[in-house]
Chains A and B, each alone.
Chain A
Amino acid sequence: MWGKLSKAVLVSSLALSLVACSAADSEGTSSKYPENTITIVAPSGAGGGWDLTARAIAKTMNETKLVEKPITVENKPGGGGAVYMAQFATKEAKNDYALMVKSPPILINANKAEGNSAYGYKDTKPLAQLTRDYGAIVVQADSEFQSLQDVLDAIKADPTKVTLAGGSAPGSMDHLVGILPAFKFGIDPKSVKYVSYDGGGEAVAALLGNNADVIATDASTISEYVKSGDVRVLAVSSTERLEGVLSEVPTFKEEGIDAEFTIWRGLFGPKDMSDAAYDYWTEKLDKLVETDEWKAELERNGWQSEYRNAEDFTTYLEDQDKVIVELLTALDMQK
Chain B
Amino acid sequence: MSTLDFLFDGFAVAFQWQNILFAFVGVVIGTAVGVLPGIGPMSGVALLIPVTATLTSGLQPEAAAASSIILLAGVYYGAMYGGSTTSILLNTPGESSSVVTTLDGYQMAKQGRAGAALSIAAIGSFAAGIISLIGLVLLAKPLSNIAIKFGPAEYFSLMLLGLCAVSGLAGKSMTKALIMTIFGLLLGTIGIDAVSGIARFTYDMPILYSGLEFLTIAVGLFALGEVFKTILERDKEDGAIAKIDRVLPTKQDLKDSAVPIVRGSLLGFFIGVLPGAGATLASFFSYIAEKKFSKHPEMFGKGAIAGVAGPESANNAASGGAMIPLLTLGIPGSGTTAILMGALIMYNIQPGPLLFEDHPDVAWGLIASMFIGNLMLLVLNMPLVKVFAKIIQTPKKYLLPIIVTISFFGVYAVQYTTFDLYLLLACGVLGYLLSKNDYPVAPLVLALVLGPMIENNMRRALTISNSDFSIFLTRPLSLSFLIVAAIWLLVPLLLKLKGRSVIVNDEE
Contacts and interface: CB of A to CB of B under 8 A. Distances in A.
Interface string A184-208: 0000000001111110011011101
Contacts of A78: 191-192, 194, 210
Contacts of B339: 46, 75
Contact of A59 (B204, B209, B275, B346): B346
Interface in A104-161: 109, 114-118, 160
Nearest to B155: A211
A210 interface: yes
Contacts of B276: 202
Given A86-B209, A225-B352, A171 B197 contact: yes
Contacts of A71: 50
A86 B192 contact: yes
A224 B192 CA distance: 32
Interface SS of chain A: helix, strand, loop or mixed?
mixed
Interface residues of B, number: 47
Contact of A169 (B46, B152, B197, B341): B197
A184 B345 CA distance: 37
A300 B350 CA distance: 11
Interface stretch (A47-55, A262-270, A321-329): A47-55
A201 B353 contact: no
Contacts, number: 143
Contacts of B329: 205, 208
A300 B198 CA distance: 36
A: contact size bracket: 35 or more
A300 B348 contact: yes
Most buried by A among B49, B150, B464: B464
Contacts of B191: 78, 83
A242 to B, nearest CB: 18
A238 interface: no
A171 B193 CA distance: 14
Interface in B129-184: 148-152
B53 interface: yes
A163 B210 CA distance: 28
B417 interface: yes
B197 A202 contact: no
B152 A211 contact: yes
A195 B196 contact: no
Interface in B377-435: 417
Contacts of B194: 77-79, 83, 169, 196, 198
B148 A205 contact: yes
Given A79-B194, A224-B350, A224-B354, A45 B464 contact: no
B50 A109 contact: no
Nearest to B50: A70
A228 interface: yes
Contacts of A47: 330-332, 338, 341-342, 345
Most chain A Cβ neighbours within 10 Å, of B194, B196, B345: B194
B494 interface: no
B493 to A, nearest CB: 34
B207 interface: yes
Interface of A: 45-47, 51-52, 55, 59, 62, 70-80, 82-84, 86-87, 89-91, 109, 114-118, 160, 163, 169-172, 193-198, 201-202, 204-206, 208-212, 224-225, 227-228, 230, 300
What 4 A-B pairs are tightest by C-beta distance, nearest first?
A115-B197, A46-B338, A211-B151, A209-B148
Given A82-B209, A170-B195, 18 more contacts: A46-B342, A47-B338, A51-B342, A70-B50, A75-B335, A78-B192, A79-B197, A82-B192, A90-B206, A116-B197, A169-B197, A193-B463, A193-B464, A208-B329, A210-B149, A210-B151, A225-B353, A230-B353
15 contacts: A45-B338, A47-B341, A55-B346, A72-B50, A75-B338, A75-B342, A79-B192, A80-B197, A83-B192, A90-B207, A170-B196, A172-B197, A205-B325, A224-B352, A225-B352
